Copies of this chain bind each other. A is one copy, B any other.
Amino acid sequence: MIKTKKKGLLIVLSGPSGVGKDTVSDAVLKENPNLWKSISMTTRSPRENEVEGKDYYFVSEEEFQKRIQEDKFLEYATFNHHFYGTPKDKVAEKLNEGKDVILVIEIQGALQIKERIKQALFIFLLPPSMDVLKKRLTKRNTDSAYAIDERFKTAYQEINELPKYHYVIVNDTVEAASKKLNAILISERCRVDRIEELYLDTIEEKVHEKLVDNKKLENSEIKIDL
């Protein structure tokens, strides 16, 4: 009875370093075969257990700079003196296939996307408290004490950007936070402005009506110039 837009949703999940973005998004990805997680490109060195092409694409700074020149990133940012970026081509491809795409990225990058793609969905993941965040950062044991301190200071500034997001989820437990993220995905798919066509179809009477004006629809399309 309704036909919804074929193009996928673009979801931007961010939040301070150490808040648990990857854990929460991985839990949601498991339950959503139609959701695809974008893989970032970075100039930082792989951590132990990190796999090329799964966790990140690891490239040299020279290679990264070349891709900036060629406008191949949807967003990029520096964080702790390393570059991180979202390759455009894959995201556009998946959205056009009708897949929902989730970008798990830092706040700097998220704000760049907000400037460019008005219809993307912005979700901010908060720690239950700053204490918990500090503990998580320390426990992760992947950075030097100096780097942890830097990340923690950055977190304070970043949280001020929260009002620019659409949704906020407090990451008390992975289960509760992923349930909320899932609910946001389900509810966004029910939004009336995602409807392309509404038709009434009965045996007695064939009616076919376009109820949503096309201008509005065009504006809500996600367009990425490649």
Contacts and interface: CB of A to CB of B under 8 A. Distances in A.
B2 A168 contact: yes
A197 to B, nearest CB: 12
A130 interface: yes
A178 to B, nearest CB: 12
A147 interface: no
**Taking the full assembly, how many copies of this chain does it contain?**
2
A138 interface: no
Interface of A: 1-2, 123-124, 126-131, 134, 156, 159-160, 162-163, 165-170, 179-180, 182-184, 186-188, 190-192, 195, 198, 200-203, 207, 209, 211-212
B190 A1 contact: no
B211 A160 contact: yes
Contacts of A190: 123, 167-169, 180, 183-184
B163 A211 contact: yes
A170 B189 CA distance: 12
Given A200-B156, A202-B129, A165 B179 contact: no
A129 B1 contact: yes
Contacts of A165: 192
Contacts of A186: 179-180, 183-184, 187
A115 to B, nearest CB: 18
A86 to B, nearest CB: 22
Given A129-B1, A131-B203, A159 B198 contact: yes
Given A1-B130, A163-B212, A167-B187, 19 more contacts: A1-B129, A2-B170, A123-B190, A131-B203, A159-B200, A160-B209, A160-B211, A162-B198, A162-B211, A166-B191, A167-B190, A167-B191, A169-B190, A179-B186, A183-B183, A183-B184, A183-B186, A184-B187, A186-B187
A124 B163 contact: no
A96 to B, nearest CB: 24
Contact of A1 (B1, B128, B184): B128
Contacts of A201: 129-131
Contacts of A130: 1, 200-202
12 contacts: A130-B202, A131-B203, A160-B211, A162-B195, A162-B211, A163-B192, A163-B211, A166-B191, A180-B187, A184-B186, A184-B187, A187-B187
